[in-house]
Each structure stands twice: as C-alpha cells, then as structure tokens.
Amino acid sequence: IEKQDSTFEDVARRWMASNVQWSEGYADQVKRTLESDVFPEVGKLPISSVRTAHLRPIIQGVAERGAATVAILIRQWCSQLFAFASAEGLCDSDPTALLKRSVKRPRVRHHPPLSWQDIPKFLNSVDDAGYRATVIALRLMALTFVRTAELRKSYWSEFDLDNAIWTVPEGRMKMRQPHIVPLSKQAIVLLKELHTLTGGGKVLFPSYRKPQQVLSATTLNKVLERMGYRGQFSSHGFRSTATTLLGLLSYPENRVDLQLAHSKRKKDSSRAPYDHTKYISSRAIIMQDWADILDALARGDSMSHIMEAFGPLSKRRRALLKVIERE
C-alpha cells in the first residue's frame, strides 16, 4: 500500500468498504458519523501517527453534546479500524484502548410496549392523527410489527398482494437476511388503499416535502407525540407490544421470534439464508390471528374474551397446532 494512501481517512474508507456484511443503514451511520466528527480532526494524519491524545477530545466532545452512545460507537469503530490497519501493517497499536471507560454508557431505554388496555384507545384515535398515508403506516406497523426502517423504506415491488406476502430484501434487514412478512386481510386492505395514494411511485411512503425521498425517520414518532405518547411509546414499540401480548396468549415463541427476525446465531451458518422461509404457513396464521386480536381489542372485547377466542384452548389455537405438526 502506497504511503500516501495511509492517512486515517483513506484507511477508514477501505475498512468501511471491507465490511460488506453491514446493512445499508448501518453502513451509512458509520460513514456519516466519521465524516462529521472524526475526519475533520484526524482524517489527514497518517494513521500510524494518530494517538490517544488526538482521539480523546473528539470522543469527549461528542459525549458532551449529549450523544454519549455515539461517542462510545466512535471509540468502538476506531478500535476496529486500527485492528484493520494493523493487519495491513500500517500501525502497531490501538490508541483507543486507553479510552474504553472515558465515556459513561447511558442507561438503555428500551421501546416500551402499549399495554393491552391501551391498545383500544390507540387504534380508535389513530385515524385522526394526520395524513392518511401516515395513518396507514402506523396501522401497518401495528399489524406487521417490523422495524420502522423496514416499512418506511419499502418498495411496492417487494409486495405480492395476490399471495399476501411481503419480502423485505436482505439489504434493509438488520441481520442481512431477507425476511418474509405474511400479510393479514386487514394489512391487504390498507395496502390497496395506500396504492391509490402512492402507487404511482416506487416507494410506499414518499416524503411529503421531498417526494423523491422516503418518509423521514422522525415522522411517525412525531405523530405519536401529537397523539399524547411522548416519552411513553414509539413506532418501534409495536414490536414489544406484539411480543408481550402474543406471549401472554402463549403463542409459540420460536414462530414469533422468526416473525420478529430476531438474531439467532446458529452453529450451522449454511442454513441461515433459508431461515426466513421457515414455518411460513404457521406464521401466516399467527399474523392473521394478531390482526384479529387488534380488531377485537378495538371493539372493546375483554381480555378474558380474547383469551377464550385466541388462547391455548381456543379453536383457532387447535387449528394452528395442526399446521405446526405438519411443518
């Protein structure tokens, strides 16, 4: 490697390019953060001359502006970068090693679920929350419990409405594997309505101000804030809402986990690319049950009535278990 190619920035860009397993969103986050906070300070320095004293003020400065999580990520990314540079013979040590405890890790705020008592109020007030496309986005978040970015950045080409299947491509999935979302009848109705609003373009949810871009990351949460959920509930919270309620009703955990596309590290990684196709029949039943459960809650059905209709001893559960046996 030519000496002039060995600046911190040039090595960092090679390191980023080498991480082909990153999702598009994560790769963009790393690139934007390094370009805004790190490259202006040390980008032009030879990587072999970058010291702890160069990096400490960068990391502390980011933490002091209230972004402690980003500061910790910068230290971790730089550590990985120096390991990469060391493997290329460009430096001998990791100057971030002395900065491991320089930023206090913030308390993790998980995405709290809506309780089953709160779901009816949400479902019965969401239609008045804003633009119809945004309302449909929130309803689809509730019905599909995907990650917000997976819905926000979706393309019409990913949807097969005739077969009630949405296939999220691997590039937009956190774990870099495609993900199949069986669509309930309620989701199909919403998607057909949405198609009359945005079907002329490629994406489901174009930005209002910049139609060539997708809906911004903050739009859905701003709507939830206007609905009175500031600090209590976010669009990502539909995932924990579904997990909690389906768990309460004793739905098979392995099926629900697959539908959530949670990371499950397996020893046989050769099977991993096919995991997204597993148990599709039973997952489709669970997704339809979930949509019907939400409808029942919106109607005001009691939890005991819902347990009777959807719980472990219900006709619907017996039908699901028969399908599971065949799978």
Q: Is 26 a catalytic residue?
A: no
Q: Which of 44, 262, 264, 315 is catalytic?
A: 262
Q: Is 239 a catalytic residue?
A: yes
Give 128-132 contacts, CB < 8 A, sequence gap 24+. Answer: 129/223, 129/226, 129/227, 130/223, 130/226, 131/208, 132/193, 132/197
C-alpha to C-alpha distance for 47 and 220, rounded to whole angstroms: 41
Q: Which of 75, 139, 236, 255 is catalytic?
A: 236
Q: Which of 75, 147, 153, 172 is catalytic?
A: 147
Q: From the centroid of its chain, how far is CA 266?
A: 21
Cβ within 8 Å of residue 292, ≥6 positions away:
184, 310
Q: Is 147 a catalytic residue?
A: yes
- List C-alpha distances in Å: 326 to 278, 282, 287: 12, 10, 18
Helix (H) or strand (E) holding 291: helix 280-299
What is the b/e burial string over 125-163, where b = at least 16 CB atoms within 10 angstroms of the residue's CB?
Answer: ebeebbeebbbbbbbbbbbbbbbbbbbbbbebebbeeee
Q: Which of 75, 152, 239, 255 is catalytic?
A: 239
Q: Is 262 a catalytic residue?
A: yes
Q: Is 75 a catalytic residue?
A: no
Q: Which of 111, 121, 174, 278 is catalytic?
A: 174
C-alpha to C-alpha distance for 96 and 73, rounded to whole angstroms: 12
Give 177's DSSP letter.
S
C-alpha to C-alpha distance for 241 and 113, rounded to whole angstroms: 4
Tell me if 156 sits within 8 A of 195, measured CB to CB.
yes
Q: Which residues are known catalytic residues?
A: 147, 174, 236, 239, 262, 274
